[in-house]
Amino acid sequence: MTQTTQGNQADTPDISTAFPLPDVFSSALVSMFHAVQPGIVQVGVSGRGGGTGVIWHANGRIITNHHVVANERAKVYVHLSDGCTLDAQVLQRNPQLDLALLQVQGDNLQALAVGDSSQLRVGEWVFAIGHPWGQRWALTAGIMSGMSSAKLAENRTSQYIKSDVGLAPGNSGGPLLNADGEVVGINAMIFGGDLAVSIPSNVVSTWLAGLPASQRRVTLGIEIQQTALPDNIRTALQPSREFGLLIVGISAGRQAKHSDLLLGDILLDVGGQPVQSGAALRQFVTEKGGAGKVAMKIVRGGKVIEAEIATLIGA
């Protein structure tokens, strides 16, 4: 019989306290996965396999790889994480970049936050979520190993992210995520053994910004509701008015790129024009027709302030 001495017990470290990092990392990764899962879809194509897609905008625009939906005659549909299946229309294709833009009609779609791929550093953790070999919402992890360039056409090149994140058929078109759960790339292929290649998020955003205006959507990236103005604000304004627009929600895309608007702010003027209703605000944004900055008058903390606020291009 083997005896355990008191000294042996004292020399044995308590693993739960000696190595806290793995548990913290695991908990954070679990939370990140559940937060982003609703923004990732499975793309199905009739007559063949499929891939993965990223909900880029809550209006139903989805990014995937061109090679996933290359068959122009095939019916395309997407499976959401809540079990719903929606028909999808291919709005735009770019075979050179291996990108495609889909449109679905759905309610309460969750767009993922888009990060700045130029900020990626060698050695940084990256994560992929997709549907390899039909296994839905599989999570893999890896290390960003570098950026490379490929020639697309004469005098035109594009960058690609290299990492050792695990990809397989079915991952194509899915997100490459940083540790904050932001999309920093669109996974495209495996190259040279286990090396994964992803299209940087900045390349995707640049492509979307260059699409025809009919394929883009200019937005402030906020949810608003009409609210009565405090008495002191109402009487101080010239001309006086009764209502403003209370910000009750801020999109993930705006949170990722801008911190210039806050929940609880009240919009008074946009572009020098009073906005007392959602219809007035939507009309202004529609007429603007492109991304840029607009002058705004805002109530914040009981005071009226002026600021230049960036509009967003939503695919």
Residue 67 confidence class, pLDDT cut points 50, 70, 90: very high
The answer to whether the CB of 162 falls within 8 A of the CB of 196 is yes
Same domain for 188 and 199? yes
pLDDT digits (tens, 9 = 90+) for 163-184: 999 999 899 999 999 999 999 9
* CATH code of the domain in which 123 resides: 2.40.10.10
Helix, strand, coil percentages for the chain (3-state, nearest 5): 25, 40, 35
Of the candidates 161, 166, 163, 205, the one whose C-alpha atom is nearest the C-alpha of residue 185 is 161
Residue 226 sits in the same domain as residue 208: no
Among residues 103, 135, 151, the one where a domain terminates is 103
Pick the catalytic residue: 172, 198, 201, 251? 172
Q: Answer yes or no: do 220 and 279 share one domain.
A: yes
Question: What tokens were used for 36?
Answer: 């982003």
Last residue of a domain, one of 52, 70, 103: 103
Cβ distance 53 to 76 under 8 Å? Answer: no
**Residue 109: inside a domain:** no
| Of the candidates 307, 200, 214, 313, the residue with the CA atom closest to the CA atom of residue 257 | 313
CA 81 distance to own-chain centroid: 16
**Does residue 132 have a cis bond before it (omega within 30 degrees)?**
no
Residue that finishes a domain, picked among 157, 190, 213: 213
What is the per-residue pLDDT across 208-249, written as a single tens digit (0 to 9) for each? 887 875 555 556 778 888 888 988 888 888 777 888 889 888
In this model, does residue 26 exceed pLDDT 60? yes
Same domain for 191 and 276, yes or no, is no
Residue 311: band (very low, low, confident or very high) from pLDDT cuts 50, 70, 90: confident
Domain that residue 59 falls in: 36-103
Question: Does a structural domain hold residue 1?
Answer: no
Q: Report the alpha-carbon distance of residue 95 to residue 82 in Å, rounded.
A: 31
**What would the mean pLDDT of 90-115 be, rounded to a whole number?**
90
**Residue 3: pLDDT band with limits 50, 70, 90:** very low
| 187-213 pLDDT, tens digit each | 998 765 678 999 999 999 888 887 875
| pLDDT at residue 107, as a whole number | 77
The one catalytic residue among 98, 198, 201, 251: 98
* Residue 261, burial from CB neighbour count under 10 angstroms (0-12, 13-18, 19+): buried
In a domain, 18, yes or no: no
Is 111 a domain residue? no
Task: Respond yes or no: is residue 172 known to be catalytic.
Answer: yes
Residue range 46-74: mean pLDDT, rounded: 89
In tens, the pLDDT along 112-155 reads: 999 889 899 999 999 999 999 889 999 999 999 999 887 655 55
Residue type, 205: S
**Residue 283 shares a structural domain with residue 247:** yes
Place of tokens 């801008």: 258
Average pLDDT over residues 239-268: 79
Instruction: Measure Cα distances from 273 to 40, 250, 289 in Å.
Output: 38, 22, 16
Higher per-residue confidence, 42 vs 195: 42
pLDDT at 173: 96
Number of domain units in the chain:
3
Please determine, for residue 68, whether its predicted confidence score (pLDDT) is greater than 90: yes
Q: Are 91 and 138 in a shared domain? A: no
The answer to whether 149 is a known catalytic residue is no
Residue 228 counted as domain residue: yes
Q: Are residues 130 and 193 in the same domain?
A: yes
Query: Does 98 participate in catalysis according to the annotation?
Result: yes
Residue of 67, 116, 148, 258 with catalytic role = 67
Based on the fold, state whether residues 123 and 70 are members of the same structural domain. no
| Shared-domain flag, residues 203 and 223 | no
